[in-house]
């Protein structure tokens, strides 16, 4: 009996100890998981960042495209190897892109705080050009991304708070559709462009879709074309439409913009004014040579969008008109060329080929003179018709003029006569030009957020040099053009862009 009792007690102690051991091994109770929750305050696609009151939305697209008869995908064959129209031009160019957007929003005691970021990873095919003056054997060199290369681009990066927009955002000068009035891919002149720019903006919202914005924005690259020192003109530069040395100094002032917008159910009306400081560098190679004084230019734009038109649901008409003086980028937006050299055939005896030349600037000067501001004006428009939920077609067009005053023409024509032997002399020299485009875009969306589209564009350069005038151009090894006599003549370009895009 004593032995049995001892065994029972021993077994109890053993099992009890084992139970305590297992109890000690049990994990501590985990904290509740903070699941991602839908944020319905700002529309579809927003979620709360776990543990915060900030909502976030991720988005973007993947795009693949091919451009025919252009080296630049989005632009006409109006300069460089594309404008040369010879074996160095690309008969097609390709590109692929992934876009990523990050939109965050937080309600605070001072109102909504928003940040927005948009970056793209892009690969575009390049092209071949002559290897240089020493390449007497006709060799060429490739310029463009490597097979596994590409570029990173930052489109948007801004903060919005209490009416302020700070950072890289679309210019307040531009209409919402910017240079795409008809869902087009071609980027025509005729008003402000889409490309975002660093800015400090205050917007007052009066309700009923009426708002006013005042903005200071960075003019570097986005708002400057050329300030030509014509005294530095060379034969090689003039042959490409560059009417002098590009003599721009460092930044002195941002551009200032005022904008009024009325955005309602019937459509949109917007008017905008911009002030642009032309800040030139020096007349000569060093600061002792002196410099011209700054000269302020300006630009004005009217924009109109008409919705709910009787041709069909979702159909729209977008129109923009612009006038600039010393601020040409507000007409020829910053995706466009600033010098044009387009080659073609000729029936003129003694001329090798024909060429259309055009040069865009904000101002021109010569050593010892002041700046002469360049005037431009133009318009663009587009009409979009939705055939059904899957098919849509747009027609669009734009026309823009560049005009130099008599003093500026004297500077430029003096350079032409001295270096390119303009056959008609000063009387036939006129660097003014018009640039226009008409196009047709059609898109097919077989499933939501997947669109296949095509954009056919016809661009025209209307130069104003006297009919039958010729110039003698130097050898241009980069585009394989010989030193010869060329007839000055209007030119054109027909391009086609095919695109597939999946938004997400």
Q: If we measure between CA atoms, which residue out of 336, 200, 326, 338 comes closest to residue 275?
A: 326
Interval 334-341 mean pLDDT = 93
DSSP letter assigned to residue 28: P
Please name every residue paired with 114 in a beta bridge, in sequence order, or none if there are none.
105, 160
For the chain, how far is it from start to end, CA to CA, in angstroms?
A: 81
Q: What is the pLDDT of residues 399-425, one digit of tens each?
A: 999 999 999 999 999 999 999 999 999
User: What number of CA atoms fall less than 13 Å from residue 102's CA on the CB side?
Assistant: 10
pLDDT at residue 206 greater than cutoff 80: yes
Among 186-195, 324-333, 399-408, 410-419, the least confident range: 186-195
pLDDT at residue 104 greater than cutoff 50: yes
Q: Which bin fits 174, alpha (ψ -120 to 50), beta or left (φ > 0)?
A: beta
- Cα 177 from Cα 199, distance rounded (Å): 19
Backbone CA torsion sign across 326, 329, 331, 332 = positive
Residue 177: burial class (beta carbons within 10 Å; 0-12, 13-18, 19+): buried
What order of strands is seen across the sheet that includes strand 353-359?
339-344, 353-359, 484-488, 470-473
Question: What mean pLDDT, rounded, does the chain reach?
Answer: 91
- Cα 443 from Cα 441, distance rounded (Å): 7
Q: Which bin fits 32, alpha (ψ -120 to 50), beta or left (φ > 0)?
A: beta
Q: Which bin fits 225, alpha (ψ -120 to 50), beta or left (φ > 0)?
A: alpha
Among 10-24, 374-388, 458-472, the least confident range: 10-24
Interval 373-379 mean pLDDT = 98
Backbone CA torsion sign across 46, 49, 53, 59 = negative
- Cα 183 from Cα 396, distance rounded (Å): 9
- Cα 45 from Cα 105, distance rounded (Å): 12
Contacts of 177 (CB under 8 A, 6+ apart): 305, 318, 382
Q: What pLDDT shows up at residue 136?
A: 60
Q: What is the pLDDT of residues 1-60, one digit of tens each?
A: 444 444 444 444 444 444 444 444 555 555 656 678 999 999 999 999 999 999 999 999
Q: What is the percent of the chain where pLDDT is above 90?
A: 83
Model's pTM, two decimal places? 0.90
pLDDT at residue 260 greater than cutoff 60: yes
Helices (H) and strands (E) in the chain, counts: 4, 27
Can you spell out the DSSP letters for 162-201? TTEEEEEE--TTS-TTTT-TTS-SS--SSS-----EEEEE
């Amino acid at each position: 009996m004593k032995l049995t009792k001892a065994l029972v007690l021993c077994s109890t102690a053993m099992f009890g100890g084992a139970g305590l051991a297992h109890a000690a091994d049990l994990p501590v109770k985990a904290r509740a998981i903070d699941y991602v929750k839908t944020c319905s305050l700002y529309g579809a696609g927003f979620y709360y960042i776990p543990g915060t009151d900030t909502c976030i939305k991720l988005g973007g697209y993947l795009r693949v495209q091919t451009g025919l008869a252009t080296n630049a995908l989005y632009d006409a064959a109006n300069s460089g190897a594309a404008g040369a129209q010879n074996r160095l031009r690309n008969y097609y160019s390709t590109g692929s892109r992934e876009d990523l957007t990050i939109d965050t929003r937080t309600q605070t005691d001072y109102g909504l705080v928003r940040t927005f970021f948009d970056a793209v990873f892009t690969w575009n095919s390049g092209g071949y050009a002559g290897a240089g003056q020493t390449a007497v054997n006709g060799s060429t060199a490739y310029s463009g991304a490597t097979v596994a290369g590409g570029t990173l681009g930052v489109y948007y990066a801004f903060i919005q708070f209490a009416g302020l927009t700070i950072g890289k955002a679309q210019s307040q000068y531009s209409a919402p559709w910017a240079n795409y009035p008809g869902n087009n891919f071609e980027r025509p002149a005729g008003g402000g462009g889409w490309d975002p720019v660093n800015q400090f903006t205050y917007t007052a919202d009066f309700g009923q879709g009426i708002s006013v914005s005042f903005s200071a924005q960075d003019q570097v690259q986005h708002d400057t074309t050329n300030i030509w020192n014509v005294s530095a003109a060379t034969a090689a530069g003039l042959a490409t439409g560059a009417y002098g040395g590009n003599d721009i100094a460092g930044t002195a002032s941002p551009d200032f913009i005022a904008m009024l917008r009325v955005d309602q159910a019937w459509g949109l009306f917007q008017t905008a004014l911009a002030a642009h400081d032309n800040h030139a560098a020096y007349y000569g190679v060093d600061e002792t040579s002196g410099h011209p004084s700054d000269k302020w230019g300006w630009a004005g734009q009217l924009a109109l969008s008409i919705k709910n038109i009787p041709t069909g649901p979702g159909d729209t008409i977008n129109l923009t008109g612009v006038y600039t003086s010393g601020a040409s980028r507000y007409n020829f937006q910053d995706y466009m060329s600033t010098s044009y050299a387009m080659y073609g055939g000729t029936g003129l005896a003694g001329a090798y080929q024909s060429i259309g030349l055009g040069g865009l600037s904000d101002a021109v000067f010569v050593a010892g003179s002041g700046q002469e501001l360049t005037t431009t004006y133009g318009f663009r428009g587009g009409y979009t018709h939705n055939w059904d939920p899957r098919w849509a077609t747009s027609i669009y067009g734009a026309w823009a003029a560049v005009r130099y005053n008599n003093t500026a023409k004297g500077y430029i024509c003096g350079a032409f006569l001295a270096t390119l032997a303009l056959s008609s002399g000063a009387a036939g020299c006129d660097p003014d030009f018009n640039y226009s485009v008409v196009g047709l875009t059609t898109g097919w969306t077989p499933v939501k957020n997947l669109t296949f589209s095509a954009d056919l564009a016809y661009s025209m350069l209307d130069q104003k040099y006297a009919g039958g005038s010729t110039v003698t151009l130097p050898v241009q090894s980069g585009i394989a053009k010989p030193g010869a006599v060329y007839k000055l003549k209007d030119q054109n370009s027909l391009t086609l862009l095919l695109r597939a895009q999946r938004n997400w």
